């Protein structure tokens, strides 16, 4: 757990340095500590796979983020490719809800711990919402129902609502 906190502090510090070089605002170390303490209290994950808090370092597309520099793919939810119809809209939607610098909790899917293309597959909680669910509710993505039989999240209310 100490390594997680140290990692979060380092990522936020690096982002602060980059932002200051680009003329953005920086957070003071007390703000970073406060964010870490809030995240540690709210880790409430299902299953036994990885569960961790981190900072969004990049929004790749509508269903993939980088958290602490590690790729995270939304479980059960897919968005169109960036070059496809609606791809940019889904990415912009996720960036609006959960911009770079946001604190998230990632709950890895116990049924898909092998990942895809080196990414962790899981639920992503950001700003009090589940991004996987928000993408589907906004009709900017679609349910990956081929994983309903293996995903630990297939019986959640939002997954059932969308077809699992």
pLDDT tens profile 7-45: 443 444 444 443 443 444 434 434 433 344 444 435 678
Cα angle 126, 51, 43; round to 5: 60
**101 has a pLDDT exceeding 50:** yes
Residues paired with residue 52 on neighbouring β-strands, in sequence order: 106
Query: What pTM was computed for the model?
Result: 0.74
What count of residues does the chain have? 164
Distance CA 48, CA 41 (A): 18
CB 133 within 8 A of CB 139: no
Domain boundaries, the chain: 1-41, 47-161
According to the model, what pLDDT value does residue 42 have?
Answer: 55
According to the model, what pLDDT value does residue 113 have?
Answer: 83
* CATH number assigned to the domain covering 47-161: 2.40.50.90
Over residues 116-130, mean pLDDT: 91
According to the model, what pLDDT value does residue 159 have?
Answer: 95
């Amino acid at each position: 757990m100490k390594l997680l906190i140290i990692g979060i502090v380092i990522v936020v510090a690096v982002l602060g340095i980059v932002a200051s070089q680009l003329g953005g605002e920086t957070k003071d170390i007390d703000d970073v500590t406060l964010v870490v303490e809030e995240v540690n209290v709210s880790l409430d994950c299902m299953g036994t796979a990885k569960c961790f808090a981190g900072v969004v370092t990049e929004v790749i597309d509508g269903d993939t983020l980088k958290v602490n520099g590690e790729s995270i793919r939304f479980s059960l939810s897919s968005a169109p490719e960036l070059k496809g119809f609606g791809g940019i809209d889904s990415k912009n939607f996720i960036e609006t809800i959960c911009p770079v610098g946001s604190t998230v909790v990632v709950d890895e899917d116990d049924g898909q711990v092998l990942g895809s293309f080196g990414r962790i597959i899981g639920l992503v909680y950001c700003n009090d919402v589940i991004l996987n669910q928000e993408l589907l509710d906004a009709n900017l993505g679609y349910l990956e129902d081929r994983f309903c039989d293996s995903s630990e999240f297939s019986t959640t209310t939002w997954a059932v609502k969308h077809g699992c």
